[in-house]
């Protein structure tokens, strides 16, 4: 059941992703959205990649207009990465398309099943946040 659900979710998610970006590039955009001005080395660590590979990945995103590079004020050798206005608009549009696709599927579900799914997703988010970020779940999440 889990495998089937994952595959179907990928199909629904993918229908909204007419994106001209790879999964790796999309991950970079999400990281930059949450860590404005991150340097290349830190980004490479976040991706579990090497700085040269990460730099090439960023080169493609800069060429597409999604990312901007700036020289650090404190150290001229350090390059800071920023999500461009085009990158932000791209992510907002992608989220809106994904939300529409998910809403279409959810609208075909009975109300009680949508509630159960929401409760399950809240518990999933809590567990994932704990694993990924070391965040302790709050009381509301534990009861879900």
Task: Please write the tens of the pLDDT for every residue from 69-102.
Answer: 998 787 777 889 999 999 999 999 999 988 898 8
Residue 81 and residue 87 in contact, taking contact as beta carbons nearer than 8 Å: no
Nearby residues of 132 by Cβ (< 8 Å), 6 or more positions away? none
Q: 50's torsion region: left (phi>0), alpha (psi -120 to 50) or beta?
A: beta
CATH class entry, domain 2-108: mainly alpha
pLDDT at 143 over 70: no
Q: Average pLDDT, stretch 113-136?
A: 85
pTM for the full predicted model: 0.74
Q: Shortest CA distance to 100 belongs to which of 8, 12, 3, 32?
A: 12
């Amino acid at each position: 059941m889990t495998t089937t659900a994952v595959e179907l979710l990928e199909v629904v998610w993918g229908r909204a992703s007419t994106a001209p970006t790879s999964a790796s590039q999309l991950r970079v955009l999400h990281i930059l959205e949450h860590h404005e001005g991150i340097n290349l080395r830190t980004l490479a660590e976040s991706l579990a990649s090497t700085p040269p590979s990460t730099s090439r990945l960023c080169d493609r995103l800069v060429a597409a207009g999604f990312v901007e590079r700036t020289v650090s004020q404190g150290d001229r050798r350090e390059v800071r990465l920023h999500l461009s206005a085009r990158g932000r608009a791209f992510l907002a549009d992608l989220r809106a398309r994904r939300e529409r696709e998910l809403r279409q599927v959810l609208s075909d579900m009975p109300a009680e099943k949508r509630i159960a799914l929401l409760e399950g997703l809240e518990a999933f988010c809590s567990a994932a946040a704990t694993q990924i970020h070391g965040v302790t779940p709050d009381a509301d999440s534990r009861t879900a």
